[in-house]
Structure 1
Amino acid sequence: MAGTGLKDATAIVGIGQTAFAKHLPEDEKTLACRAVLAALDDAGIAPGEVDAVASYTMEETDEVELAKAVGFGDLTYFGKVGFGGGGSCATVAHLATAIAAGQATVGVAWRSRKRGSGPRPWTGATGQLPTPAQWTRPFGLLRPVDETAMLARRYMHEYGATRDHLFNVALACRNRANQNPAAVMYDRPLTREMYMTSRWISEPLCLFDNCLETDGASACVVVGRERARDCRRRPVYVHAAAQGLPAQHHGMVNYWNDDPLTGPSWTTARQLWKHADLTPDDVDVAQIYDGFSILVPLSLEGYGFCGRGEGGAFTEQGALETGGRLPLNTGGGGLSEGYVHGFNLITEGVRQLRGTSTAQVPGAATCLVTAGESVPTSALLLRS
């Protein structure tokens, strides 16, 4: 996927999103259609020109329904990516690969969710539990946050990371959301006292360590390099892309390997940097998956921004804020803008490289976007 033939061969030329809110009246299909149409309009491309689509396996709106509703032409590529938050960047990577290989010319990727007003998938009856859940749920690891909290506790124990380090992540995301009128938390500042006195969700992760539960949809349009030059907006090139599923990985979180804190981001990062002309030192801004705050320091280590065990300390002294060492999640991320399985991190990365973000990093020319750490994951390296 991330070979040299993909390097800068395609570009994201359109982005679109609906509002993000605790409750939206539209169903997921309608939200998907609105986001996709907005992205196509942003690119100046007619729906009938779309011949490739990519989405998540968890996406309720399938290719057939979207194609009919929006008015796509003949589709010559369609694919889906598993593992929820781990799949966001891979949807774009699959389109880029198909277009670079000549299988399609105009691709659309999207994610639509009704998580704020819809059901929680882990709350219903499950019947026979799949492996490895049969070994963990009977002992209290019922939700994604419970599984991730185990990683957080291990990380804090081994490397001396503290709740202040997690607060640094949550605060950076909230500060950027406070600059973004589209963010759910736009008008709700966060203080250290609020963070430290908030209720536990799964100790040591508190309320503000968890992503939002929102309704909403995001989408983007991918085309080849030549076509990109004629589109309405400034193209943002897919410089490199990668997916990562480590050997012997188990489900959402792997507690059974020798080192649970070396997750899928490490596998993805090796592939990503192998096929890039850039290094972590060249990244101007990052959109790092923040379903839970602890995933950010783990990802910082996995993608090579700091050494093993140094992710917590990396967050100190405003490193993640605008003007810091690595400005992070500049739209507010999943913690404070909205949560659509990380797809809004892609659209914000595009805005940064276009120069149109509400928290613009001056001169930003390279952006790393990552999907969910701890699950089989993916990443994009974008450049202007």
Structure 2
Amino acid sequence: MSDGFRGATAVVGAAATEYLRRGTSERTSAQLVLQAILAACADAGCDPRSIDGFVSYSEDSSEGLAIGAALGVHEVRWSTQIWGGGGGGLAAAVNCAAAAVYSGQANCVAVYRGLSEAVDGRRAFAKGHLGTLYTAHGVVTPAQICALRTQRLLEVDGVPPSALEAVAMAGYHHAQNNPRAVAYGKPLDHELYASSRLISEPLRLYDCSRENDGAAAILVAATDRHDEYAGAPAVILSGVQGAAAGWNESVENEERYTSAGFHPAMVRRLWQGAGISAADVDVAQVYENFTGPAVAAMIDHGLCPPGPEAGEFMTVDNLTVPGGALPINTAGGNIAEGFVHGIGLVLEAVRQIRGGSPNPVADADISLLIGGPMAPMVSSTVFGSLQTV
């Protein structure tokens, strides 16, 4: 993205519903989305009817035009959905909203995701991405696909299994300070993690994200209008999305098989656009559909060394508040806070800048969001405080 994009837009409101056990919500996904958007407007101190753009991702059944109509907005100027299986469109949806505002196509864009299993069905976000080459060989779940890549990460690249455990443990550690988290009051230790059942080798129960009913939303507006909204803004410094040749839907023929899909050129664009390096990141929210892809994503971004050295960096102490060099998933993440297709990670990424995190990182100015590792498309966004612009 151009230099002019850096800092031009910001998140000015954010909110989520509670996370419920999948299939138990009495509301539809659209009703949950409306609840989250109204709460985000209350957080921003703005009239919901002033929203003029809507963005979601990956098979969301809550169409922007319908959501706008239900809110009674004055005009829908922008309505789009990001393609891409899994949570790869997570950060891309934020980037799309920022692009709409930056280009003048909209003034205030809601980015949202909602799930209600009674309406959307089980794993609605994975439909269409498990082709016959997979299913004919008994590969019918995302866990199996990511397990194949994770096993290679361990065996060939030499990343130790302890790195995966550290991701899970960090999420559970942070969830104990977050009353909204589904794992609140349910701490995880090494014995419990190691004794949990295998889901798809090498991934165990606690390596896998939860599925929940719920919704969350943020509002994106121009940074130079942030004083029209309540609270501090989380400025959008940079964003990338996409897939390199030989990745996306190539079905197990990837040359960089253990990569999370963030190819070097994409990562360079992310840091160059933000005007920073990986070393400048204060806190990160890393989409952990499973722990293996999360580790691979951190390696791809240069946040963590590859191979055996990953185990030295990926420790619970290093990944947690208050003393860690790079705290991750500080509200609990998909694994321990709740999984509504990763949208909660967006909220926590901006809370670290705007305030309100259950585990705030002291003096955080740079907050990274990583979406959908090992999905057909991947994306990332860098948020910053006003001081970074």
TM-score bin, normalised by smaller chain = over 0.9
Paired letter, 1:18: T
Paired letter, 1:370: I
| Contact preservation (8 Å) 2:37, 2:217 | yes
Paired letter, 1:200: L
Structure-2 separation of matches of 1:123 and 1:132: 11
Aligned match of 1:86: 88
| Contact preservation (8 Å) 1:107, 1:222 | yes
| Contact preservation (8 Å) 2:160, 2:310 | no
Aligned match of 2:211: 213
Secondary structure of the 1:147 match is helix
Structure-2 separation of matches of 1:327 and 1:190: 17
Give CA deviations for 1:98-117 in whole Å, capped at 9, x if unaligned: 11111111111100012489
Q: State the Cα distance separating 1:274 from its structure 2 match.
A: 2.3
Aligned match of 2:9: 10
Distance 1:312 1:115, change over 3 A: farther
Aligned match of 1:27: 28
Q: State the Cα distance separating 1:70 from its structure 2 match.
A: 1.4
Paired letter, 2:252: Y
Match of residue 265, structure 1, among 262, 267, 284:
262
Paired letter, 1:259: R
Aligned match of 2:77: 76
Structure-1 separation of matches of 2:124 and 2:115: 16
Paired letter, 2:330: T
Aligned match of 1:54: 55
Q: State the Cα distance separating 1:179 from its structure 2 match.
A: 0.6
Paired letter, 1:271: R
Q: Which runs of 5+ in 2 are unaligned?
A: none
1:54-203 superposed matches below 5 A: 54-83=55-84, 84-115=86-117, 119-121=121-123, 133-203=131-201
Q: State the Cα distance separating 1:340 from its structure 2 match.
A: 1.4
Q: State the Cα distance separating 1:242 from its structure 2 match.
A: 0.9
| Contact preservation (8 Å) 1:116, 1:213 | no
| Contact preservation (8 Å) 1:286, 1:369 | yes
Q: State the Cα distance separating 1:380 from its structure 2 match.
A: 0.7
Q: State the Cα distance separating 1:248 from its structure 2 match.
A: 2.5
1:236-275 superposed matches below 5 A: 236-251=234-249, 254-266=251-263, 267-275=265-273
| Contact preservation (8 Å) 2:259, 2:297 | no
| Contact preservation (8 Å) 1:132, 1:250 | no
| Contact preservation (8 Å) 2:167, 2:314 | yes
Structure-2 separation of matches of 1:254 and 1:123: 17
Q: State the Cα distance separating 1:254 from its structure 2 match.
A: 4.8
| Contact preservation (8 Å) 1:298, 1:311 | no
Aligned match of 2:359: 359
Paired letter, 1:7: R
Q: Which moved more, 1:318-327 or 1:29-38?
A: 318-327
| Contact preservation (8 Å) 2:29, 2:119 | no
Structure-2 separation of matches of 1:142 and 1:270: 34
Secondary structure of the 2:20 match is coil
Aligned match of 1:340: 340
Structure-2 separation of matches of 1:363 and 1:56: 31
| Contact preservation (8 Å) 1:117, 1:215 | no
Structure-2 separation of matches of 1:188 and 1:341: 22
Q: Alignment RMSD, CA only?
A: 2.0
Q: Which moved more, 1:70-79 or 1:10-19?
A: 70-79
| Contact preservation (8 Å) 2:59, 2:125 | no
Q: Normalised by the size of structure 1, how large is the TM-score?
A: 0.93
Q: Which moved more, 1:164-173 or 1:112-121?
A: 112-121
| Contact preservation (8 Å) 1:228, 1:235 | yes
Structure-1 separation of matches of 2:313 and 2:118: 32
Paired letter, 1:316: T
| Contact preservation (8 Å) 2:167, 2:316 | no
| Contact preservation (8 Å) 1:320, 1:328 | yes
Secondary structure of the 1:281 match is helix
Distance 1:150 1:368, change over 3 A: same
Structure-2 separation of matches of 1:290 and 1:317: 15
Q: State the Cα distance separating 1:356 from its structure 2 match.
A: 2.0
Secondary structure of the 1:229 match is helix
Paired letter, 2:175: A
Q: Normalised by the size of structure 2, how large is the TM-score?
A: 0.92
Structure-2 separation of matches of 1:117 and 1:333: 24
Match of residue 305, structure 2, among 303, 307, 320:
307
Structure-2 separation of matches of 1:69 and 1:122: 23
Aligned match of 1:381: 382
Distance 1:293 1:317, change over 3 A: closer
Q: State the Cα distance separating 1:139 from its structure 2 match.
A: 1.5
Structure-1 separation of matches of 2:119 and 2:51: 31
Paired letter, 2:67: L
Structure-2 separation of matches of 1:123 and 1:333: 18
Q: How many residues align?
A: 378
| Contact preservation (8 Å) 2:260, 2:293 | no
Match of residue 293, structure 2, among 292, 295, 299:
295
| Contact preservation (8 Å) 1:355, 1:364 | no
Distance 1:82 1:355, change over 3 A: same
Secondary structure of the 1:64 match is helix
1:43 aligns with 2:41: no
